[in-house]
């Protein structure tokens, strides 16, 4: 049973529109602020949490949000509301229609995410994380993973935003999700020896694991997800070189990935700024005629490294596209139409190729 029901009014300010998803410690909803429009609301499952405790949990998130970096999600409000389970704390943040990087990755179906797109996403994540790592003392995220990176489009194109700053350290970051896949798989080797060893270099490991996943559809050390007892021995087996899984990955990009995934933290990039420097220098190599179709994959379920994912029926997604098109023709509804189209694209892979350019036009205010 969900904590909130559709139509519920919270603090005389927010109307719950619909349930978006959940993790082990919170549920997420799309809500409508009476003045400011759509936002996302995260409601903690912990009953009886106080405003003071919420403020402690969100301290780093609020600090970074005030900096106003475009690649860090903004937190707007925090409060308490009545639910069927009792009083629960919540906070509101930017609503990103496209959802998480996990959904974006899966939406490419049997194809790899284009290399240029994957690298651009990681550049943006590094830019946001650099702001945190440059703080004195550094702010460490501790739970960088595709589920905590939100992906959407704005007038300039694709935009990544890091979410959930300040939350991971309040609970065990290895058990944030009901499923171990998606969290343990992005923790650095040293975290399995000492839960207090999180560092900027640990965040870098998670960045490297995320980039490896986006480019190869596999995890660098997949055995972690299947282990009942957390051990570091699973890192003794060398990871498969990325270019063997995706021939389009060139030597320079592979070196960046492998440096981020060095077993010893002192051999990795020491922080996000260092990794960003190499990602900014990287440029994709021109493709030869024989390589142009190497992005194709055989088998729809290639996106299973983080567990199975139930796809929305294609007819439902196509219906969302139809409704988005109708909305786009109504005065003042273009951004709402773009939100709906973006959701549809992430629910059915075949729609991305067909409608991505149209979505970019809508985000720029252009209707054709």
309 assigned to some structural domain: no
pTM comes to 0.87
123 assigned to some structural domain: yes
Domain stop point among 271, 302, 333: 302
* Candidates 77, 102, 134, 143; catalytic one: 143
Same domain, 154 and 215: yes
Same domain, 236 and 261: yes
169 assigned to some structural domain: yes
Confidence of residue 188 (pLDDT cuts 50, 70, 90): confident
Examine the residue annotation and report whether 250 is marked as an active-site residue of this protein: no
Give phi and psi for 130, each to the nearest 5: -60, -40
pLDDT tens per residue across span 272-281: 999 999 999 9
Same domain, 108 and 205: yes
Spatial contact of 266 and 225, defined as CB atoms under 8 Å apart: no
Q: Note the pLDDT of residue 110.
A: 86
Q: Note the pLDDT of residue 360.
A: 92
Same domain, 206 and 134: yes
User: For the ranges 4-8, 172-176, 192-196, 318-322, which has the lowest average pLDDT?
Assistant: 172-176
**Which DSSP string do the residues of 164-200 spell out, in sequence order?**
-TTTGGGS-GGGSSSSSTTTGGGS-HHHHH-TT---H
Report whether pLDDT(291) > 80.
no
Domain that residue 194 falls in: 101-302
Q: What is the mean pLDDT of residues 227-248?
A: 79
Report whether pLDDT(333) > 80.
yes
185 assigned to some structural domain: yes
Where residue 115 sits, what CATH number does that domain have?
Answer: 1.10.510.10
242 assigned to some structural domain: yes
Report whether pLDDT(167) > 90.
no
Same domain, 288 and 245: yes
Same domain, 34 and 155: no
Confidence of residue 179 (pLDDT cuts 50, 70, 90): very low
**Domain count along the chain:** 3
Same domain, 278 and 325: no
Q: CA-CA distance, 351 to 107, in Å (whole number)?
A: 9
What is the CA 212 to chain-centroid distance, rounded?
14
Residue identified by tokens 């139930």 is: 310
Domain stop point among 35, 60, 93: 93
Domain stop point among 39, 71, 93: 93
Same domain, 225 and 320: no
Same domain, 69 and 151: no
Report whether pLDDT(169) > 70.
no
Same domain, 148 and 293: yes
Where residue 26 sits, what CATH number does that domain have?
Answer: 3.30.200.20
Q: What is the mean pLDDT of residues 289-301?
A: 46
124 assigned to some structural domain: yes
Report whether pLDDT(321) > 80.
yes
pLDDT tens per residue across span 1-10: 789 999 999 9
Same domain, 196 and 47: no
230 assigned to some structural domain: yes
Q: CA-CA distance, 83 to 43, in Å (whole number)?
A: 10
Same domain, 295 and 346: no
pLDDT tens per residue across span 109-163: 889 999 999 999 999 999 999 999 998 889 899 889 999 999 999 988 999 999 9
pLDDT tens per residue across span 209-235: 999 999 999 999 876 665 555 565 678
Whole-number mean pLDDT of the chain?
Answer: 85
Q: What is the mean pLDDT of residues 39-44?
A: 93
368 assigned to some structural domain: no
């Amino acid at each position: 049973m969900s904590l909130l029901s559709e139509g519920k009014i919270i603090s005389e300010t927010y109307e719950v529109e619909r349930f978006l998803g959940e993790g082990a410690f919170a549920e997420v909803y799309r809500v409508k602020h009476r003045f400011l429009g759509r936002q996302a609301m995260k409601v903690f499952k912990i009953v009886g949490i106080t405003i003071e405790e919420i403020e402690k949990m969100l301290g780093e998130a609020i600090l970074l949000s005030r900096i106003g970096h475009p690649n860090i999600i903004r937190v707007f409000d925090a409060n308490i509301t009545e639910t069927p389970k009792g009083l629960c704390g919540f906070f509101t943040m930017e609503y990103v229609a496209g959802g998480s990087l996990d959904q974006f990755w899966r939406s490419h179906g049997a194809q790899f995410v284009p290399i240029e797109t994957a690298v651009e996403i990681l550049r943006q994540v590094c830019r946001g994380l650099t702001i945190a790592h440059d703080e004195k003392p550094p702010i460490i995220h501790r739970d960088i993973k595709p589920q905590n990176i939100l992906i959407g489009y704005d007038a300039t194109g694709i935009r990544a935003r890091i979410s959930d700053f300040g939350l991971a350290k309040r609970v065990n970051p290895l058990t944030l999700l009901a499923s171990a896949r998606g969290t343990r798989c992005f923790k650095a080797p040293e975290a399995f020896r000492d839960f207090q060893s999180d560092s900027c270099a640990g965040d870098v490991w998670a960045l490297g694991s995320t980039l490896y996943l986006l480019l190869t559809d596999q995890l660098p050390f997949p055995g972690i997800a299947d282990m009942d007892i957390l051990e570091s021995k699973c890192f003794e087996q060398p990871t498969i070189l990325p270019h063997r899984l995706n021939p389009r990955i060139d030597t320079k990009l592979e070196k960046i990935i492998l440096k981020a995934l060095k077993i010893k933290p002192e051999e990795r990039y020491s922080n996000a700024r260092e990794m960003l420097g190499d990602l900014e220098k990287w440029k994709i190599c021109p493709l030869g005629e024989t390589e142009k179709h190497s992005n194709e994959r055989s088998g729809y379920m290639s996106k299973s490294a983080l567990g199975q994912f139930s796809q929305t029926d294609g007819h439902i997604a196509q219906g969302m596209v139809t409704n988005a098109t109708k909305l786009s023709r109504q005065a003042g509804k273009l951004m709402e139409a773009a939100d709906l189209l973006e959701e549809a694209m992430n629910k059915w892979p075949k729609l991305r190729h067909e409608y991505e350019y149209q979505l970019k036009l809508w985000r720029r205010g252009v209707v054709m």
